[in-house]
Amino acid sequence: LVVQSLALGIDRFKERIVDILKAILEKDGINIRGVYERSDAKVRKNEGLPRIKGFIGNEFDTNVQIVENGVKYYVDVKEGQKTGFFLDQKYNRQSIRKLCRDAKVLDCFTHTGSFALNAGQAGAKSVLGLDASELGVEQARKNAELNGLSDTVKFECADVFDKLPELEKAGEKFDVVILDPPAFTKSRNSIKNAVKGYREINLRGMKLVKDGGFLATCSCSHFMDYDLFTKTIAQAASNVHKRLRQVEFRTQAPDHPILWAANESYYLKFYIFQVCDEK
């Protein structure tokens, strides 16, 4: 298990919660090898809590293998982002598979390759995954090898904001472009800059989609709410003279519930559009 506690109230019951989780899973016949804590987020300082990272109980190999949507991954629960893997996009990754057979796919902000590998396993002709983290790209390449996709799914360490204009200048076009960026804003004070960032990558992404191809785009910041994100995508489309046909709108997986009494729990917005040139 990988656990993260960010608030004082939860922290006081942490060991009790871990015991309950272990008991529930072991009752279902799942053997728990160990528990690793990733309570190393800066936000703990707001509650007067130290940043903690390490084993709770017995030690184990922190490079673990998981399977999601039939795709195998190596997950580094010690050094990976947050708890090592972003499970909230599970069904969104699954949703792009139907678009990717025999397609040329570009996956931006690929992290450890999850969208790219789903595209590859769905039968994509070629996939290029981009990420600014060398650690993430190295992990993504290992994951491609693990799934026997190294010949089809390639990864490059690059800043997406720099790489997309380069691809455009080179005349590259893709059947499917996927944008899964980190949260460009984690406070209300930086929303204006975040809007510029989301508009820029969506604008660039649309320009790289073949006429009639598809754009999958998302935001994982609750400060970038549904209305603002939707408006920003519309502005990007208008700026590059593209018409959008909405194919699908999704949020986070149901095990990351949206609580109507807590607005910040509705954070992930995920669109799939068909992108056409204005005639």
pLDDT tens, residue order, the chain (279 aa): 999 999 999 999 999 999 999 999 999 999 888 999 999 999 999 999 999 999 999 999 999 999 999 999 999 999 888 888 999 999 999 999 999 999 999 999 999 999 999 999 999 999 999 999 998 999 999 999 999 999 999 999 999 999 999 999 999 999 999 999 988 866 677 788 889 999 999 999 999 999 999 999 999 988 899 999 999 999 999 999 999 999 999 999 999 999 999 999 999 999 999 999 987
Is there a catalytic annotation at residue 220? yes
**Whether the Cβ atoms of residue 41 and residue 4 lie closer than 8 Å to each other:** yes
∠ Cα 165 207 149 (to 5°): 80
For residue 186, what pLDDT is reported? 67
In this structure, whether the domain defined by 2-56 belongs to CATH 3.30.750.80 is answered with yes
In this structure, whether the domain defined by 63-277 belongs to CATH 3.40.1260.10 is answered with no
Q: How do residues 60-105 score in pLDDT, each as one tens digit? A: 999 999 999 999 999 999 988 888 899 999 999 999 999 999 999 9
Which amino acid is present at 174?
F
Q: Looking at the chain, how many residues does it have? A: 279
Options 100, 218, 220, 276, the catalytic residue? 220
Among candidate residues 111, 113, 115, the one with its CA nearest the CA of residue 97: 115
Q: How many CB atoms lie within 10 A of CB 150?
A: 15
Among candidate residues 61, 56, 118, the one with its CA nearest the CA of residue 86: 118
Question: How is the chain split into domains, by residue range?
Answer: 2-56, 63-277
What the block records as the tokens of 210 is 């073949």
Residue with tokens 């993504």: 140
Calculate the alpha carbon distances from 125 to 69, 119, 195, 215, 218 in Å: 19, 9, 33, 17, 24
